[in-house]
Amino acid sequence: MGSKLVENSKNALISSLALGRGETLLIVTDDSKKELAEALYAAGRSIGAETLLLVMQDREKSGQEPPSGIAEAMKHCDVAVCITEHSLTHTQAKKDAVAAGVRVATMPGITYDMFLEGAISADYDTVERLTYEVTEKLSRAHQVCVAKDREELVFSIKGRSGVPSTGIYRKKGQSGNLPSGEAFIAPLEGTASGRIWIDGSISGLGKLEEPILLTIEEGRLTAATGRQGDMLLQMLGDGPGRNVAEFGVGTNDKARITGNVLEDEKVYGTIHVAFGSNNTFGGVVSAGVHIDCVVKTPTVFLDDVLLLEDGNMKRG
């Protein structure tokens, strides 16, 4: 286990989660990420926290619940870090832990490279400022229009609140991804209509071989082009997994498109649209799946105000 890995883990636990001596740290992992989790375990112990490591079998897909014993343990610690192959971000287990006042960081699919370079090395105070700025704009807006390569997707966010994922979770009940840097919101179910090019990556599929054109009608994904588009439809199933669940904006200037959505969806100037569950952040759909699709250099209007132009953020 590299010393830099443990050192970076220690920095993340202190700067992002304010983990202190004597607090209880629970690390939830699976077979795929056990080695990286052990670096976090070593880091937690070096800080002086009461550190526990729970290992489960890999989940089949993002958004699938962990075993009940792990879900229960997550409610009874000060800090929980979920370092897993598939995301626990949009699960009831995470929602219940947050409701119990636990500070939760989820690190789905994180790699050695991501632990040592890229998004995790950002100045998170800067990321936090921009993330809150974009979150406020989302919360005030009624409608979103995403345009790219002569296609448009339009949906309502009226009455919904934006959610900041800043990478800083120092207070009771704060949670989000690590590394982080995104502002996101749950579109109103049934309102999304149009088409959108996905040209970055898709969670579970990685970097795309070619852009995929998605067709969305009455808030549901109805068609996706190409082999990887077929794979996306298969992962989502025919039921509530097709729901347009999330619209997010990346705010981390150190994040890179790597093929890992945990980092890809945080890239400054990208947006992502997710399908499936959104009941953990203001929506009403529980689908047992949540798949993010990343778009590079989009143009985005909130109502009639330009937020992004070809991936360039309009500030103020």
**Does the pLDDT value for residue 1 go beyond 70?**
no
**Are 255 and 181 spatial neighbours (Cβ–Cβ below 8 Å)?**
yes
pTM for this model (two decimals): 0.84
Mapped onto helix, strand or coil, the DSSP state of residue 146 is: strand
**Does the pLDDT value for residue 99 go beyond 90?**
yes
Supply 164's token pair.
């900041």
Chain segment 195-217, per-residue pLDDT in tens? 999 999 999 999 999 999 999 99
What's the rounded Cα separation, in Å, for the pair 92 and 111? 25
Chain segment 13-61, per-residue pLDDT in tens? 998 999 999 999 999 999 999 999 999 999 999 999 999 999 999 999 9
**DSSP at 88:** -
- If one counts every other C-beta atom within 10 angstroms of the C-beta of residue 166, the result is 25
Q: What is the mean pLDDT of residues 294-305?
A: 97
% of the chain surpassing 90 pLDDT: 89
Domains of the chain, start order: 3-116 (3.40.1830.10), 121-313 (no CATH)
Which has the closest alpha carbon to 44: 62, 59, 29? 29
**Residue 60: predicted pLDDT:** 92
Kind plus residue range of the DSSP H or E element containing 78: none
**Residue 188: predicted pLDDT:** 98
**Residue 56: predicted pLDDT:** 98
**Residue 2: predicted pLDDT:** 77
